[in-house]
Structures are given as C-alpha cells and as structure tokens.
A and B are shown apart, each in its own frame.
Chain A
Amino acid sequence: AQSVAQPEDQVNVAEGNPLTVKCTYSVSGNPYLFWYVQYPNRGLQFLLKYITGDNLVKGSYGFEAEFNKSQTSFHLKKPSALVSDSALYFCAVIPMEYGNKLVFGAGTILRVKS
C-alpha cells in the first residue's frame, strides 16, 4: 500500500526567508511524486513533479523539491518566501504502473508573514 506523510500541520516563515515543507512517502516500486497547492476556496494546482533523473526538480512560482531515495523524502523548498505563497500544500505519490491511484498527504498550511 502507498502512503504519504507530511509531518507538519503548519509551517510559519518570514517573508524573504527560505522555506521547507516536508514530505516522506512509502510505495512499492518506483514512484511518481508531486506537489500540489490549494488556495482558499480553490481547486488543486500542480506545482512540480519528480519522475526520474536529477534529484532537484524545479516547478512553478520559484518552488523546487529534492528527491531523496534513501530517505524516501520529497521536501518542497523555496529560497525566498513571499506572502502570496501562503496556502495549503499537498504532497502526493503514485506508483509508476498506470491504473494506480494518486494518494495525498494530509497537507501542510504554509503561512508567510511580512
């Protein structure tokens, strides 16, 4: 069975500071890994993905994520946070074999204060 853990319910960071939102996963086989963002009263927007290749992947709005196979982690990062980054962030995993389901972590609220 696949699962995703986001150990922090909320992350608080000052504007301009770097941010990290943590994610660890458990899946049999090789995974596709994703980060989605949800703004209040909105749907889920794709942020970035890891499929294969370079462990550091870049996505929308200056976000990046680092895949670590030995630690089964896929932490989301940004060098300099903006107040507008404040939202709910979801890590998600799906095994590479098509037909499996996309499983989400519990979500982490990111609050960036000016």
Chain B
Amino acid sequence: DTAVSQTPKYLVTQMGNDKSIKCEQNLGHDTMYWYKQDSKKFLKIMFSYNNKELIINETVPNRFSPKSPDKAHLNLHINSLELGDSAVYFCASSSIGTVANYGYTFGSGTRLTVV
C-alpha cells in the first residue's frame, strides 16, 4: 500500500496552462504539505494544511492554490504556468505522534515541466 501517493508522476504542459496535482495519504495523518524541489535539488515548503485548515503559506505566487477537501487529500492547482514553475513537487504528511518518529512521510514526487 502506498502511504502518500501523488498523481500524476510526470506532467509536461505549455506556458499559460492551468494544471493540478493530486495527493492522497492513507496513514491517518492530520497534516499535509507541499514542497517544491528546484533544479538545484533545494527543497522548500510551500503550504501546509492541518485538518483542512491552511497553517503554513510561504511566499508563493498566488497562481498556486492548494485545496484540502478532507484531511487525507491535498491538491495543488497552478494557474498560468510559467517556465520557472518547472520543478519536482513533493507531497508529505505527518501527525503530532509521528513527527518525532520519522519526521514527515513523502510521496514520490510529481515532475512538472513547463515548455
């Protein structure tokens, strides 16, 4: 069973398009995150939701809009895609009882390429 699953795994799209990435976790965690890994492999948090409430919103263009319909799902919608949005986007999850054990649990990533 995949603990944190993201779809799609790869996404190639043209500039100006709107796209969504979906994330689901079956671990019963109450908090989910989106991280961006840029071309230099640097990982930076974008958003965090706890029980469907936004709790972390880093300095991210408002073209990026997260949505959490329930605590097991966190989707990322990106409007008007730009070349600089090309990156690998990782979803992660955690709970207060699990952070001390292994930090966050990460999905396998979505490689977004904007052409």
Q: Which residues of A contact B (CB under 8 A)?
A: 32, 34, 36, 38, 42-46, 49, 51, 88, 90, 92, 94, 98-99, 101-104, 106-107
Contacts and interface: CB of A to CB of B under 8 A. Distances in A.
A101 B102 CA distance: 14
The size class of the interface chain B forms with chain A is 20 to 34
B34 to A, nearest CB: 11
Contacts of A104: 42-44
B106 A43 contact: yes
Contacts of A103: 45
Interface string B97-115: 0011111111111000000
B108 A94 contact: no
B99 A43 contact: no
A49 to B, nearest CB: 7
B49 interface: no
B31 to A, nearest CB: 8
Given A43-B108, A101-B48, A49 B103 contact: yes
Given A49-B101, A94-B103, A102-B104, A43 B43 contact: no
Interface of B: 33, 40-45, 48, 50, 55-56, 90, 92, 96, 99-109
A68 B103 CA distance: 20
Contacts of A36: 103, 106
Contacts of B104: 102
